Amino acid sequence: MCQSVAESYAGKSIFITGCTGFLGKVLLEKILYSCSDVKKVYILLRGKRGLTVQERLKSMLELPVFSRLNREKAKFIDKIEPIVGDVSQEGLGISPEDKVTLINEVSYVFHAAASIKFVAPLHDLLNINVKGTERVLSLCKCMKKLEVLVQVATAYSNTHSIFIEEKVYPSPIPLSHIDHLINEQPDEERTKMIIGDEPNAYTFSKKLGEALLAEKTWSCSRYYYKAFNCNCKSIRTDPRSSARERTQPATKKILPQSVKVYACATSTEKPLTLRDLLNLTTISSKRNKFNELPFPDVYFTNSKFLLVFLSAVLQTSPLTLADALLRISGKDPKYRKILRRIEQVRDVLEIFTTNSWKFSTMNNYCLFSSLSPSDQITFPFSPSLINWSEYIPIYFDGMVKYLFKKNPVSSDLS
């Protein structure tokens, strides 16, 4: 009989980078809650805003995502060991003593640290998202007990094709050029020339990171381990097209002879159109009286001219008038400022909201089917299980409660 997921982690130690990020916190909580017999979880942390790593860890564990652990398994904190370091530094910035500990103890590595800023300088993105991955891989090669390497990536890495297969795609440039580009620190115009048809420097760097992981692992024939890739899929601003994918970790099985990828995506199994997404979020917004703009609504168009016209008629003009009325009444204007923020986000995301992609998920389907019935309940990563009409309102209420610190009008959130 095959081991359960929890049994495979029992008595073994884990190393996680990017643990303070959105996915990292969820991953840490899930491992500690559902695989409670894990021996130790080492997490890479750096001091930030004058806080030590111990202070950052304490603050993080007080967040709502860890509430059930604090209620039901209070001793979980004893299994967490912070490691001072930074993926942007050589050797991950880890002390020799901590490196020895990781080399001798760790069986599973989750690499989730990354810069996700679409408009960050290319050299910074390459240093963190590509060289950072190489630094983690170099450490993994020294680990005596290593079984699995997990890399968190994004489906935005591969936007050149309408249908994305479960495989690692070739690097758009020779990987040997990365160090030169980091040292060159190209400006905005030079960056556009380098990334070519890629949506932005972020997706470009993530594609290089995947290619590097596959190439470097392929060259190390004496190492047998698996690597996981968490992908986030995209959308088109046609009301009939698929909305942003909800995803789970996909899996790359790296062997000297083959590279196998498992992608978890909803475009083929449980698609969500933009119109349905907007309908669900608008309902939640009105229910919570959470619309900062007076008349929350969205119009879909693929025409640039019509976009400019509708923006002027439906947004700029009325909101300019609304600000004028605020001034007359002695209040500070606010609507044009809100509009500018919305337009900035719209422009950055335009490439993703004007295109649509579908993703092969057969390997992921087979992977989920191989789990025992109890593990399928504990780790429900199949996209077919998603109910959007339930998920989106809960997601929206979560933003209201945890990001904006307000109580949703009706919510089952604890």
CB atoms within 10 A of CB 294: 9
Task: State the Cα–Cα distance between residues 249 and 234, nearest whole angstrom.
Answer: 16
Position 295 scores a pLDDT of 54
Cβ contact 85:53 at 8 Å:
no
Token pair in block for residue 378: 């504990």
| Strand 106-111, strand 13-17: pairing | parallel
Cβ contact 94:142 at 8 Å:
no
Task: State the Cα–Cα distance between residues 71 and 236, nearest whole angstrom.
Answer: 42
Strand-pairing partners, residue 40, are 13
Which of 86, 97, 104 has the alpha carbon at shortest distance from 45? 86
Task: State the Cα–Cα distance between residues 16 and 27, nearest whole angstrom.
Answer: 9
Task: State the Cα–Cα distance between residues 116 and 114, nearest whole angstrom.
Answer: 6
Collapse the DSSP code of 14 into the 3-class scheme (helix H, G, I; strand E, B; otherwise coil) and give the result. strand
Token pair in block for residue 23: 């996915």
Which of 61, 59, 115, 109 has the alpha carbon at shortest distance from 87? 115
CB atoms within 10 A of CB 109: 25
Q: What is the DSSP letter of 109?
A: E
Collapse the DSSP code of 207 into the 3-class scheme (helix H, G, I; strand E, B; otherwise coil) and give the result. helix
Task: State the Cα–Cα distance between residues 211 and 217, nearest whole angstrom.
Answer: 10
Task: State the Cα–Cα distance between residues 43 and 59, nearest whole angstrom.
Answer: 14
Task: State the Cα–Cα distance between residues 215 and 391, nearest whole angstrom.
Answer: 38
Position 153 scores a pLDDT of 82
Task: State the Cα–Cα distance between residues 63 and 57, nearest whole angstrom.
Answer: 10
Which of 21, 44, 205 has the alpha carbon at shortest distance from 120? 205
CB atoms within 10 A of CB 302: 10
Q: Of all helices (H) and strands (E), which one includes residue 132?
A: helix 132-142
Position 410 scores a pLDDT of 66
Q: Residue ranges per domain, the chain?
A: 5-233+256-267+356-381, 272-292+387-413, 299-350
Cβ contact 37:9 at 8 Å:
yes
Residue ranges, the chain, pLDDT below 50: 220-223, 225-230, 232-255, 257-258, 414
Q: What residues have CB less than 8 Å from 92, skipping those under 6 apart?
A: 17, 44, 85, 86, 132, 135, 136, 139
Q: What is the pTM of this model?
A: 0.83
DSSP string computed for 231-297:
-----BSSTTSB-PPP-EEEEEEEETTEEEEEEE-STTTS--BHHHHHHHHHHHHHHTT--SSSS--
Position 244 scores a pLDDT of 41
Q: What is the DSSP letter of 162?
A: S
Cβ contact 213:137 at 8 Å:
yes
Which of 43, 41, 122, 137 has the alpha carbon at shortest distance from 86? 43
Position 103 scores a pLDDT of 98
Matching CATH number, 5-233+256-267+356-381, of 3.90.280.10, 3.40.50.300, 3.30.499.10, 3.40.50.720: 3.40.50.720
Position 109 scores a pLDDT of 95
Token pair in block for residue 248: 């789970």
Residue carrying the six token digits 């933003």: 399
Position 254 scores a pLDDT of 38
CB atoms within 10 A of CB 194: 18
